[in-house]
Amino acid sequence: MKILVCISNVPDTTTKIKFTNNNTAFDKADVQWIINPWDELALTRAMDIKDASGGAIESVVVINVGLTEDEPTIRKALAIGADKGIRINAAPKDSYFVAAQLAEVIKKENFEIILCGIESSDFNNSSVGGMLSEFLDVPSVSSVSFLNIENGKVNVKREIDGGFENISTQLPFVGIVQKGIAKEPRIPSMRGIMSARTKPLQVFEPVQVDALVEYANYELPQSKSACKKIEPDNVKELVNLLHNEAKLI
Amino acid sequence: MSVLVFTENWDGKFKKLSFELVSYANEIAKKLNTSTTALSIGKVEDDELKKLGTYGAVKIISVENDKLKGLVNQAYTSIISQVVAKENATVVVFANNYMGKAVAPRLSVKLKAGLASGVSALPSSLEPFTIKKKVYSSKAFANIVVKTPVKILTLFQNAFGITESPANATIEKFSPELKDSDLKTEILEVSKHTGKLLLTDAEIVVSGGRGMRGPENWGPIEELASLLGAATACSRPVSDEGWRTHEEHTGQTGKIIAPNLYIACGISGAIQHLAGVSSSKCIVAINKDPDAPIFEAADYGIIGDALKVLPELIIAVKELKASA
């Protein structure tokens, strides 16, 4: 059985966001790039499942749609423990484009379990996993917070608003994972970092796909007015402000 | 032509977000000079279905199917795509929550319809169809042009509000075709927290961080939330430590919420936390560190120990309630 984890290359969370070209493009200068946090949790769970499988999971593969500048992020995933990396050589246009590219490559290989993070921290679209499953015409389970394999059967727990569902699914399937799937992301060991250099990283050329949406331009939010401070021995004043000024309680 | 809105119910009663979605869809329908159709999946009585008319839906399509015990992504996508075709819908509106995130992307591919997810406002232009959404974990906005004839939107909860626009709605029962291939996932068990206000539905949220110093100190958070009719939440270290369940975690990798009032108690305001709560209309911060970043995001702040301030706050809210 093989597990595929789709990973996205995103700016580190603490990055100060700036735009160039008359606010039509993200300014990449001085940006630290990381594995999308939800994808990293997916990869961590995939590695945990493989380690506990006694050889039943033969490999964990990571796949990314991006240019050569994404390769350090793929190598980090290999250092965490993935067995092989795949890069589809294209700059992402929109979620539909990315999912279509992933689907083309996945159709050529047999993956029983495909994992995606529930969203990426750059465009926050929460779309690629669901779109990919529709392209592949396989079941998807979204907002997955627990995933295990026992006797070849996949047990999935998904969060719903105000509760959860336990689900059984046929394979292959796309699991769209979120917080809870793994507690902390794995940190690459020195041995992992060394071996990552020699692990295979396969590059596919993209297929022609038109994006369905276009990012016309970007805006930064207006700066907020200063916080109104209330003395800790005058809590009544806070309640008064929330009641009479903000009219919220 | 119509604007179709996918509503959600909770044990047969519509969630508050459904009324917001219909209100929002109806504003778009007015701009497009068309009407709003609401789709309900699951067992909902006619009296409850009629409530959607209060917010502008002129047609309510109700689908009940015994095969659907819960959210089966493929089946829901199939049903909605059949309704889109039947109603000739040009805009389809979902909530940007678990349900919307599960189904809208699949529908986008099935219909080859552009998806703008996590939008927070009405379209700024209809031709080209341009709409604003938050990107980079709420640190910026993008203006997106949806280029396809059918547009799919997922709306951030509490971003638009609820507007009454009474319409004499008609109810239509619809039986979509479902194939076995649409039902490859089986819901084995559904567990719902009963009697608890949903965090994503709440207009007020009281949240605790590491400054609360332990799960045994959560009593005042619960009490204040109860007094205000609020939901409770927590920061990531709190859920990671197991003081509270991860369902309560608000932040970048937790829940992203936008209540009217967010009260952060003993939360320093790491950038990952602010990514999940910065859309709140008003933020109150209680923290003993005057340099905590939460004060940069807050509207009102108290520099003090949350464990000492909260009991005083509870007394003050009780006095306000008593005098009202």
Phi, psi of B154 (to 5 degrees): -115, 130
CA angle B66, B69, B71 (to 5 degrees): 125
Model confidence at A153, in pLDDT bands (50, 70, 90)? confident
Are B167 and B27 spatial neighbours (Cβ–Cβ below 8 Å)? no
On the question of pLDDT at A136 being above 80, the answer is yes
A242 touches chain B (CB under 8 A): yes
The pair of structure tokens assigned to A240 is: 């008064």
All residues at 6 or more sequence positions from B299 whose CB lies less than 8 Å from its CB, including other chains: A224, A225, A227, A228, A246, B282, B283, B284
Q: Residues A213, B147: contact at Cβ < 8 Å?
A: yes
| Residues comprising chain A, all counted | 249
pLDDT at res. A212: 98
Say if CB A140 and CB B73 are below 8 A apart. Answer: yes
Q: CA torsion, points B244, B245, B248, B252, in degrees to nearest 10?
A: 100
Q: pTM for the whole thing?
A: 0.93
Inspect the interface and report whether the beta carbons of B300 and A220 lie closer than 8 Å.
Answer: no
User: Can the peptide bond before residue B259 be classed as cis, meaning omega within 30 degrees of 0?
Assistant: no
Tokens 């909605």 belong to which residue? B80
Residue B142 carries which side chain, given as an amino acid letter? A
Separation between Cα atoms, residue B181 and residue A162, nearest integer Å: 28
> C-alpha distances in angstroms, B207 versus A193, A219, B225, B228, B298?
39, 29, 9, 13, 14
DSSP labels, A86-138: EEE-S---SHHHHHHHHHHHHTTS--SEEEEES--TTT----HHHHHHHHHT-
Q: How many beta-carbon pairs under 8 angstroms link A with B?
A: 285
Predicted pLDDT at B193: 77
Contact B114 A141 (CB under 8 A): no
Q: How far is CA B316 from CA A223, A234, A240, B224, B300, in A?
A: 31, 10, 9, 10, 16
Return the CA Rg of chain A.
Answer: 21
Question: Looking at the partner chain, which of B117, B141, B184 has a beta carbon nearest the beta carbon of A127?
Answer: B117
Tell me the chain B residues in contact with residue A22 when contact means C-beta distances shorter than 8 Å.
none
Residue A150 in contact with partner chain B when CB distance is under 8 A: no
A151: confidence class by pLDDT, cuts 50, 70, 90: confident
Judged by CB atoms closer than 8 Å, whether chains meet at A227 and B296 is answered as: yes
pLDDT at B256: 86
User: What is the rounded distance in angstroms from the CA atom of residue B187 to the CA atom of residue B105?
Assistant: 21
Whole-number pLDDT of residue A161: 80
Strand B35-41 and strand B129-135: pairing?
unpaired
Contact A127 B102 (CB under 8 A): no
Tell me the pLDDT tens digit for each residue of A169-179.
Answer: 989 999 999 98
The DSSP element (H or E) to which A213 belongs, if any, is strand A213-219
The predicted-structure confidence for A23-63, as pLDDT tens digits, reads as follows: 999 999 999 999 999 999 999 999 999 999 999 999 999 99
Q: Which of residues 18-57 of A touch B (CB under 8 A)?
A: 19, 37-38, 41
Confidence (pLDDT) at B35 = 97
Check residues A20 and B195 and name the one with the higher pLDDT: A20
Which residue of A133, A143, A238 is in closest CB contact with B98? A143
The residue-averaged pLDDT of A113-123 equals 96
Question: Searching chain B, which residue's CA lies closest to the CA of residue A38?
Answer: B253
Do B115 and A227 count as a contact with CB atoms less than 8 A apart? no
- Enumerate the residues of chain A whose CB falls inside 8 A of the CB of residue B247: 159
Among residues A7, A123, A8, the alpha carbon closest in space to that of B136 is found at A123
- pLDDT averaged over every residue in chain A: 95
Beta bridge partners of A5: A62, A115
User: Dmax over Cα atoms in chain A, in whole Å?
Assistant: 67
The token pair at B37 is 């159709």
Q: Pick B301's closest partner by Cβ from A214, A227, A248.
A: A227
Cross-strand pairs, B155: B95, B119
The distance of A50 to chain B (nearest Cα, Å) reads 23
Q: Do B317 and A122 touch (CB under 8 A)?
A: no
Question: Can you give the pLDDT at residue A135?
Answer: 98
Residues of A in contact with B134 (CB under 8 A): 124
Question: Could you report the predicted ipTM of this complex, rounded to two decimals?
Answer: 0.95
Do A22 and A217 touch, CB atoms closer than 8 A? yes
Q: Beta strand pairing status for B13-14 and B125-126?
A: unpaired
What's the rounded Cα separation, in Å, for the pair B141 and A195?
40
Cβ-nearest to B188 among A130, A143, A167: A167
How far apart are the CA of B22 and the nearest CA of chain A, in angstroms? 19
Interchain CB distance below 8 Å, B186 and A227: no
Q: For position B297, what pLDDT does the model report?
A: 94
Question: Residue-wise pLDDT tens for chain B (324 aa)?
Answer: 999 999 999 889 999 999 999 999 999 999 999 999 999 999 999 999 999 999 999 999 999 998 888 889 999 999 999 999 999 999 999 999 999 999 999 999 999 999 999 999 999 999 999 999 999 988 999 999 999 999 999 999 888 999 999 988 999 999 999 999 999 998 999 888 776 788 888 899 999 999 999 999 999 999 999 999 999 999 999 998 999 988 899 988 888 888 999 999 999 999 889 989 988 999 999 999 999 999 999 999 999 999 999 999 999 999 999 987
Candidates B165, B158, B228; CA nearest to B200 is B158
CB contact under 8 A, A122 and B204: no
